Structure 1
């Protein structure tokens, strides 16, 4: 008689079309998880090879709930793991940021994180299951960087959300953490980094040097979602080459 094995755990990856999201999907699938990839358009997710491709707008409570519900419907259970990689940026001083721009940054970064985390928590509490979630913040929420006021406010709120949710749901076996990447080479930053002078200047500000790839951030997210990080919750891990904690040695 052949031995039956339980199905692999399910992971939900939002913002899966982005540079970090794609790298996270690849890593989770590499270690045998069943992955539901979420983006605003399912067609853009076809090349990820995920077990489920879900079109949803996670910046609304209805969209976030729909993403979690679709994951459960297509893969048979709610996602035990969540990697929320939705995000945008705005590089502009506050006096040159319009109300519409500020609201958009808050909607994409803070609203999506809050509503997605809420939907995920509700699904796992209803199922009585433990789980782990990782949200993506930014170094600009941890150290003052000029001309980033709106995105710093949004990501700062996201980090506060992570700490509070970690405290509230630890007893239910739910871990909630975040990563805070520094400048990362992704499609979102491609416009900036295609200018050699900008890339070189950004790299000089990092103690470990250079501009990091999305793989570096995805590795940290993958680990936080693994059993190796079973004792971590309420943490924000800076993946930034030392940018927020130490200064590069000037030679």
Structure 2
């Protein structure tokens, strides 16, 4: 039986790239977005409109996948995320709460709804964290707190459900070429500055990040769970030789 994958945030750069890669591997793919019209040109088998930042929305997305493709997804890729570049003292409470809602609440509720649908079966899930949860980066307090919560959620869930054969991991990307970063990277000085931060140089593509996601969800990573894999050109662990 062909495996079913559910991708949240499928209209974003990384989710879109992952959808194409998973379908090329033979999976049937359901894509989720708050605005299903944004999924019109995304290579998925089923398009689902739902706000998964609420428990009801997350449950509805999983149920729509079951009804539309005939079975529960055994693969979950939670690619939803926003960012905020602002220091703590300039972050309004309502902005902070929205960052937590979109990044952390959605991860918790999606994992909860997906686990309920699995009904004891094995599966693989991967979540999107960020380099700013791995190393201190100025003016990222809110998003660092949210993504740090995602990483803690991943480790705990991996421990809870390992005996069921469920693997739960996350990636922590650095600056990636996506619609979300298009405004910043459209400025030559910002692009050049961003690229210099990474030991391997340059800004990575959504396809490069999606390749790591696809690997974590596949059989080749069958012994990997509870891990946070940085996809950051070495940013969080090494410093390049300055010449």
- Tell me if both proteins adopt one fold, taking TM over 0.5 as the criterion: yes
Q: Which residue of 2 aligns with 1:202?
A: 194
> 1:233 aligned to 2:225?
yes
Q: Which residue of 2 aligns with 1:88?
A: 82
In structure 1, the gaps of 5 or more residues are 1-5
Separation (CA, whole Å) in 2 of partners of 1:42 and 1:97: 30
Deviation at 1:35, TM superposition (A): 0.2
CA RMSD of aligned residues (A): 0.6
CA offset digits 1:164-197 (Å, max 9, x no partner): 0000000111100000000001110111111111
> 1:42 aligned to 2:42?
no
In structure 2, the gaps of 5 or more residues are none
Q: Give the length in aligned residue pairs.
A: 243
Separation (CA, whole Å) in 1 of partners of 2:182 and 2:241: 27
Q: Which residue of 1 aligns with 2:107?
A: 113
Give the TM-score normalised by structure 2. Answer: 0.99
Task: Give the 3-state SS of the residue equivalent to 1:238 in structure 2.
Answer: strand
> 1:165 aligned to 2:157?
yes
Separation (CA, whole Å) in 2 of partners of 1:97 and 1:216: 32
Structure 2 contact 13–178 (Cα < 8 Å) conserved: yes
Separation (CA, whole Å) in 1 of partners of 2:6 and 2:241: 40
Deviation at 1:81, TM superposition (A): 0.1
Deviation at 1:49, TM superposition (A): 3.0
> 1:60 aligned to 2:54?
yes
Give the TM-score normalised by structure 1. Answer: 0.96
Deviation at 1:41, TM superposition (A): 1.4
Query: Which 4+ residue blocks in structure 1 deviate beyond 3 angstroms?
Result: none
Separation (CA, whole Å) in 1 of partners of 2:121 and 2:27: 17
> 1:175 aligned to 2:167?
yes
